[in-house]
Structure 1
Amino acid sequence: MKFSWIFLNYWINLKNISLKQFEDELTLNGFEIEHVTKNSNISNDIIIDLNITSNRREVSNIIGLAQEISTIFNLKLNKDFLNKSFLFKKVKTIYNDNTCPKISYCIIHKITNFQNQSTPLWLNNYLKIYNEITINNNLLQAIENYIRIQWGYKIYLYDIQNINNKNFNHFQIKIQEHKNQINLVYNQKILFTVQLNNQQINSQYVDSTNSLILFMPLFKPDFISYNYINSFLNIYYETIYLLSNLGKSYISKASKYSQIDKIKPKTIKLEKNYINNILGSLSLNKHIFFTDKAILRVLKQLNLTSKYKNKIFTVNIPENRTHDLSRKIDIIEEIARIYSFNNFISAIPSKQSIGSISKNTLIIRKMKLILNNLGLNEVVNSSFTNTNKFKNLDKQINLYNPMLVEQQCLRTNIIHNVIYNHINNIKNKQNVIELFEIGKIFYTKDNVLKEKLHLAGIIFNTEFNRITWDHQPLNLEWFQAQGIVENFFQKLNIKFKWKKINENKNIANIDYIFDNKDKIGIYSCFNNKLIGFLGKINAEICEKLYRKNTYIFEIDLLQLIQNIDQKKHLKYLIREYSSYPPVTKDISIKLNSEHNIKKLIKLIRKKYLEYLESIKIINIYYNRMDNFYSICLRLTYRASNRTLNNIDIQHINAHIKLIINTFN
């Protein structure tokens, strides 16, 4: 985009700023200057050619650039923007059949006696800077191009001198919207059409045009790339001034339509510590950070109204910056840009402390080692996947703009990935396929995307067991696959139970993979929640795998980690080993069916902890006729300082007999 130094000074005074300083500051603030050349049409003027990025489209006109320069150099504009409050006054003098969801405000003028004379020299010189050549020196075209370059706004002019109606009343024009176009209708006939997706000016007039319609719409932000609400009044008055003064025309009273609602400004909250953590220190040797007053001063320079309370900045985003200031990091980048990146230390801060590995990471490392020792090999797959090849899932999480067809959605389980790994291994003629993967799965809850860490595996082995060395090897069976999972849980010291799976939405999505008979859930012994499942792949999928007796499992890792019984030293009882001989006695106890033998053993241990070394159940008999249990207990006694005699044993047994009698 090209800009004239003289025309830029019309909006902002840059006399005290050298061209070199101007170039350095713009480059440091993210605007690449491609060329600086002399203006061949105006003496003492230079043309600055800037490369404007797509996220700063509000700077692609003279006024936008002047606003940005005023922010960078902390200078005031020579002219202020007019108050936009009049736009919020509800008016509706245009007769509409339908509402206008795309237009929030518009003005229609009837222009008569327009004299399409030659374009003034200053306007021609202005347009030549941007290589805008008017056909036949057409004044209307020159005014259109000037407003577009100066303000970045498109005005629409349409010839009405061919309308055979002397009593043409522009107040009776109706606005009709249809997809990506807006029709202006008069007496049930379309006068002209505005194409919203057309970047070129699509006005309709000729050199001899002297009667025309001026249409100036203010589109809602949802349908345009930039919101002109702050500068619309300035654009309007300059357009009217150029048409009336240069064209010597008569401008009728305006027909207006307004449906602008006052929208609460978008706010972003920023913690002061977060800003300083991102930007770092202002000094290499001392920890000097941004003060709250300095941050407020920069935010004011950026025209961002803000409040500071409890070490939190509440920043209001203006309407013309909502497209590029949407996150906390965007505000911090603007603060650093205006304060100047050169004021921050570019050196990497010295290491204050060594980070620690989290507890969950250590447990996951242990899990991988255990699974490797059990014979399973780890695989790693992408979280992006294709639509399920076996069956379409009901709730897929599709990407808006996938890079590849094979990566068009996020996976909701890991089972499909390990099955595809299994197929690839079969193609490579591998007979022992025991794989596992630890990775993230994704799901939606209350329309919010969430993620979990899961463990999944597939077990298939045609040479798992032999009866004798000269027999053929046997395939892995159900109980052997179940034993591998149990061994994994036992090594992690996790208490669990096998249980029939109740109705579960996550399991229902992949239920078609399993054989109906061979499927079981893994439940926690602490809260009775489903941790995972183990199942046998059904015959239909096995035909695709070309293998039978293939077992798969998937486990919620966070649920698994929460159920690990962490051993602590305080739970262990430490006492000196006795060198004296033990005394063993067997006793028989009769208990009713409702009594618990474990409670009885606990009571006996609590009473005689000093001498009682162990209690073991060696036999149980249940009498169905009288409904009681006959239990034989073996008690082992041992003292730490002497050999127990018969008197000691009889005394202890007498007290145990009393406990048993009271228990019954």
Structure 2
Amino acid sequence: MRVSLNWLRELVAIDLEPEALGDRLTLAGFEVEEIEDRRTWAEGVVVGEILDCDRHPNAEKLQVCQVDVGQSEPSTIVCGAPNAAAGLYVPVACPGAILGKIDLKIRPTKLRGVLSQGMICSLAELGLAKESAGIHIFDNEENQRQVGEDVRPILGLDDVVLDLTSTANRADALSMVGIAREVAALTGGKLSIPSVIPPRIKKSARLKSIQIAVDSPQVCPAYLGTMIKDIKVEPSPLWLQRRLETAGIRPINNVVDITNYILLTWGQPLHAFDGDRLKALAGKDSLTIGVRPGRPQETLKTLDGQNRTLCPENLLITANDQPVALAGVMGGEATEVHDGTTTIFLEAALFGSAAVRRSARHQGLRSEASARYERGVNAAELEAACNDALALIQIFAGGTIQQQVIFDQRPNLERVIQLRLEQVHRLLGPIDRPGSDGEDGVGDMDDLEPEEVTQALTALGFGVKQETETKSIPDVSPIWQVTVPPYRHRDIEREVDLIEEVARLYGYDRFIETLPDQGELGYLPIEYTLLRQIRSVCRGAGLTELMHYSWVKPGQSQDTQITVVNPLVAEFSSLRMDLVTGLVQACRYNLEQGNPPLNGFEVGRVFIKDEDGLWESDRLGGIISGDPWQGKWLRPSQKQQPLSWFEAKGILESIFARLGLGVEYQPDCRDERFHPGRTASLWLQGERLGRFGQLHPQFRQDQDLPEAVYVFELDIEVLLDNLLQNQARQQFHSFSTYPSADRDLALFAPRSLAVTDLQRTMVKAAAGQGSLLASIELFDQYVGEGVPEGQRSLAFRLCYRASDRTLTDAEVNAQHQQIRDALQEKYGLTLRS
């Protein structure tokens, strides 16, 4: 929120410099992001009167003006503005003036041969507008000034603006009155909140031609509607326009500006409807103003000109059941106040935070009003804000109150919380007493006194009453009953909240910082260490780490996909069920941007719904869509070739090898997005790890991807469990100093028989009488001429080794023959060697 220091001084007596005040507010929890000193924008700029204006002798678009700036003789100023004319009062930057916003110091200079002794300024040059068509001309309200007078007070440039950011729990800080209360408590300055006198409403004005119909008091606990006739819509007074501009709000007309002024003053959003348009839209003279949820297919054109489709998540204001506004967010264009408005219906209401937040998010619409309703508007000062607005409307727009209707079901705002001094000391610790420096330069350590606690709370507007039974008992820590002021009702709920207020007001920087006498070295849990290892191994295999949001667009699997009721973005309202979809989209996006095929991995969470309920799981996913060596000097002249299934599998196998995992592959064709003949399920110790395979050609074509794209997705929990078991089983084995003996084994096998099954049979056969088998490697596969129909030729290299001796041919041949016999017996294979 932008806080004008001049406006703030009207509400609380302060004499601090802006920088010092900013530091105090920041330490109290209201971060001052920027201090905008407007006094530097027009230093040396004064009011001038153009006495004469003649055409420049050497330039068609320039004029030579004689300007009275309060000196003994008029100043000659060359001006290029088309609206410069004799008799106008204008801002003039004399020689030596500094225009801080455009970083310009004015000096006498010749323009086309004529000496110019200054510059006539536009609002853009003074920092008050982005663009200006010409010089600024003071109107009747502004030019009641003496020539030569400083223009800064006239244009509101004698002010300093603090740009504050408050935490979400401090809704009261989004108003000048709320900030003034805080500053008064921090500085001890006298608070001067404007007193509001309720307008007199004749009994005859309380007719029943307007009624309020609220569907749920929870979403609208209070609604005040006032019909005012004989309004005259015109520009607001200059002081009001300047005040709104300082706060970053564009002035529109007196009625709308007053509602915005009340918004800034009290933090209470108001909305003014054109009364005649409201009745015309309702179709009757009698009005029923309703507050209800939207209905499907209803529409509303809001003040920003957008046609919005409504739904039950939108909270609406209706006139005889016709939508006229998004409650707490924005009004409708059909009932907006315009230059011809003569009757207005002023709305002052309280809307539920959750209802407004849900409605604004669904429409993707944020406003000053919704920002305050979402945090919680002060329910106790609704009447004060409404009455203040009515008084200002009657002063600056005329009008007579015709009728006022009230709906009020606000809950009791009184709250009393017990506060114990012992608990204050326990949570906050000792303080550093100022002015009591010890030998080490640090003040004496002491606890907060009871008077300091009560003084801090009283300054913040809390009612503090000490319990009577503790007063007469010596050495007993005081206990207070603290009454929470209504404007802090949403923020202060527990004893710890009161303790935080004491610390915040006393100053966090005044408490002693103490560290434990002895510390312990931190460490990463073993799961995080292993997860880092997995990431490192994947990067070592040439995969780039990717990160995607868990939010996805709703898909076709509505039965198993989890849809969120209030998503951050309406388009992405579901949670992802796997990592494959995000990886495929990332690959396609990279190709669309002209990048090489993507080889990447991602560690993320997926969300599943099944008959057992909702559950989530961490996964490791990866995509391999291109040869990492293509285009390098090793293959400079080769035509680009897609990776084969075995080459892609080799990348995955290298990851498993680095992790020390023996993974088995089994055929899998359950996912329609994968190639049915080139997809495998992965297993570790009899537990399903995940899947790996090539994308189905049809799916690949629909996604406009390269010819061969491979994807894997692994269960992190299974992966970590096996890595933990491997670490527990790890033992050091020295390398054998004895040579190995290799034997080749060639055979014909059916294509349906997996190599994994053959290798498992070999290992089992060798283990029967003390295994000498050290490794098995498939080094050749052939299908074609000379191979029986439906079979393939496979060649394995079996390595035999003992750790304590050199093997003899007889030992090796015996175990090798044992493996051959096992293969023939189990599968009936034809052995070629």
TM-score, normalised by the number of residues in structure 1: 0.49
TM-score, normalised by the number of residues in structure 2: 0.41
